[in-house]
Structure 1
Amino acid sequence: MLTLENDGQIISAYKFPSPNPAVELELVTYYASGLKVKGLLAKPVDGSGTEGFLYLRGGIKNVGKVRPARIAQFASEGFTVFAPFYRGNQGGEGDEDFGGDDRVDAFAGFELLQSLPWVTRIHVFGFSRGGLMALLTAIKFPETASVVTWGGVTDMFLTYAERKDLRRMMKRVIGGSPKKVPGRYKFRTPLYEMENLKAPVLLIHGRNDHNVSVEHSYRIEKRLKELGKPVESWYFDDYTHYFPPVMNRKIVDDLTNWMKSRQQQ
């Protein structure tokens, strides 16, 4: 896993059409492990985005792509948001490897937000497989203000066991099954590194989630509580991996308020 001094350095930024007139969007090319990676940067036009928000997407390749409307939605809550597309996507160099070396794209995204003079502190958010990226990023940067995972993956062994439909992709991208290369699955599993996490954590999960079972959140919550670390969980009995739009908007409000109310470390 290669981290370099110029990680997070912006190479270019171009104005991108915004779905919200109150939010400016830019398509950014930045360095991560020497690769030119793409991402979307959003900030409120009124200058209110003094807190940084690293948005870590789920999926792989074209599944779970960063959506401008979603990024603008979080920015409109008063954050400067950066959402890496991850390497190899939408014109970026390199290849995604599902939480392996591509975690550096998230780390470099954190450093990119740190380099913006108006950003005072940075929160990290991960959806689905972005959950493990978020937790790994918060471990890497102890100054992380807070971490929120929504339907987040925390245990790659569990993902392999649960998602028979993803096994072929996982074996190809990770280099084998958990039986064959257990070390590579452990490397991608933040559950084993929770003692190194400093930031407060919020877990959001639908109990009917069949993409990433709620067991992922249960496991990380149990481990954090054993370690005496600050963790909150919001579980929803009726929801799957995707929440209905009205509820989704409410939770965006609630989770961004939760972030802002975390004490300065």
Structure 2
Amino acid sequence: MLKYANNIMDSQRYPSPNPAIDVFLITYLSDSYRVKAFLAVPKWEPGTENGKFPGFLYLRGGIKGVGMVRVGRIIQFASEGFVVLAPFYRGNCGGEGYDDFAGEDRIDAFEAFEILKEHPLVDRDNIHIFGFSRGGVMALITAIEKPDAKSIVTWGGVSSMFLTYEEREDLRRMMKRVIGGTPAKVPDRYSWRTPLEQIEKIKAPVLIIHGAQDKNVSVEHAYLLENKLKEHGKRYSKWIFEDYTHYFPPQVNRTVVQDLTLWMKNGGYYPET
């Protein structure tokens, strides 16, 4: 069993579709809950100056079975030279507790960030945070809590739970159940899940990636985040893809993965800009 941090309770090898990447299914303690996650580790020699890999915290979208972490997806990022840790969040795939939709389950992301720091092959001063869809708001919340993050990427990411409730009628029943009511009845609970008013606490550069035709998470989320970053003088990049929705075509997806990981490795700058 691979155990290098005190809160790792169990780890088992998991079938990897890439012979150059080791994959583990780990169980770690978050609050009092056992939470599941995938860990992907490249087999080749690390390329960083201190002989270690950068860390990559992958924060999934969706809730419960929708938007679950896929091994193929984390392999994409590990193949770019990162040790990738992807929590399932509490209450998923045999994990204890209940998925709280960017509520108390944020602790799962915070703990995963610390686990990456403790990995023997990870440069603890070079940890990046990535969030897709619902994971976008999780990434921002985590970056606020962990100001030593090296960079933050939000791809098709939620930035406001108020806006999500407004634009996703199909999610309203779930949001009322999980959050405890509507934005009108429990605005504090929606505010707590909306990190825009704490953007000044983020220290790292932010990359916003969004499809302009996105119907799952409207591009307005990207613009809300951009405006707050501007307001507080934060360094950010914005890549809006006019022709794409929430999910990009496979070839475009691969190219964007390569570009965003290059942006991360260059300290929040893309070499051609």
TM-score range, shorter chain: over 0.9
Return closer, same or farther for 1:34/1:165 CA change in 2, 3 Å cut-off: same
For 2:183, which of 154, 157, 178 is the aligned residue?
178
Q: Could you say what secondary structure the match of 2:44 adopts?
A: coil
Match of 1:27 in 2: 25
Tell me, yes or no, if structure 1 residue 114 matches structure 2 residue 112: no
| Counterpart Cα distance in 2 of 1:227 and 1:189 | 16
For 1:219, which of 224, 229, 253 is the aligned residue?
224
Moved over 3 A (4+): none
For 1:124, which of 105, 123, 129 is the aligned residue?
129
Tell me, yes or no, if structure 1 residue 169 matches structure 2 residue 174: yes
| Counterpart Cα distance in 2 of 1:72 and 1:203 | 22
1:8-27 deviation digits (Å, cap 9, x = unpaired): 72111100000111110000
**Structure 1 residue 118, shift from structure 2 partner:** 2.3
Please say if residues 8 and 32 of structure 1, whose CA atoms lie closer than 8 Å, have aligned partners that are also in contact.
Answer: no
Match of 1:46 in 2: 44
For 1:88, which of 91, 100, 103 is the aligned residue?
91
Please say if residues 8 and 108 of structure 1, whose CA atoms lie closer than 8 Å, have aligned partners that are also in contact.
Answer: no
**Structure 1 residue 65, shift from structure 2 partner:** 0.5
Return closer, same or farther for 1:54/1:148 CA change in 2, 3 Å cut-off: same
Give matches, 1:69-84, under 5 Å.
69-84=72-87
Please say if residues 174 and 184 of structure 1, whose CA atoms lie closer than 8 Å, have aligned partners that are also in contact.
Answer: yes
Tell me, yes or no, if structure 1 residue 203 matches structure 2 residue 208: yes
Tell me, yes or no, if structure 1 residue 65 matches structure 2 residue 68: yes
**Structure 1 residue 91, shift from structure 2 partner:** 0.6
Please say if residues 206 and 240 of structure 1, whose CA atoms lie closer than 8 Å, have aligned partners that are also in contact.
Answer: yes
Q: Could you say what secondary structure the match of 2:16 adopts?
A: coil
| Counterpart Cα distance in 2 of 1:85 and 1:157 | 24
Q: Which amino acid aligns with 2:167?
A: E
| Counterpart Cα distance in 2 of 1:8 and 1:113 | 12
Return closer, same or farther for 1:8/1:169 CA change in 2, 3 Å cut-off: farther
1:200-237 deviation digits (Å, cap 9, x = unpaired): 00000000000000000101111101111001100000
For 1:16, which of 14, 17, 24 is the aligned residue?
14
Q: Which amino acid aligns with 1:22?
A: A
Return closer, same or farther for 1:19/1:215 CA change in 2, 3 Å cut-off: same
1:117-151 deviation digits (Å, cap 9, x = unpaired): 22111000000000000011111011100000000
Match of 2:271 in 1: none
1:29-77 deviation digits (Å, cap 9, x = unpaired): 0011121100000010114261000000000000001000101111010
Match of 1:3 in 2: none
Count of matched residue positions in the alignment of Structure 1 and Structure 2: 257
> Over the residues paired in the alignment, what is the CA RMSD in angstroms?
1.1
| Counterpart Cα distance in 1 of 2:249 and 2:121 | 34
Structure 1 window deviating more from structure 2 (245-254 vs 110-119): it is: 110-119
Percent identity, please: 61
**Structure 1 residue 99, shift from structure 2 partner:** 0.3
Long gaps (5+) in structure 2: 47-51, 269-273
| Counterpart Cα distance in 2 of 1:10 and 1:47 | 25
Match of 1:191 in 2: 196
| Counterpart Cα distance in 1 of 2:251 and 2:72 | 15
Long gaps (5+) in structure 1: 1-6
Q: Could you say what secondary structure the match of 1:130 adopts?
A: helix
| Counterpart Cα distance in 2 of 1:90 and 1:98 | 16
Tell me, yes or no, if structure 1 residue 104 matches structure 2 residue 102: no
Q: Which amino acid aligns with 1:167?
A: R
| Counterpart Cα distance in 1 of 2:232 and 2:250 | 35
For 1:247, which of 225, 228, 252 is the aligned residue?
252
Q: Which amino acid aligns with 2:162?
A: F
Q: Which amino acid aligns with 2:17?
A: P
Q: Could you say what secondary structure the match of 1:40 adopts?
A: strand
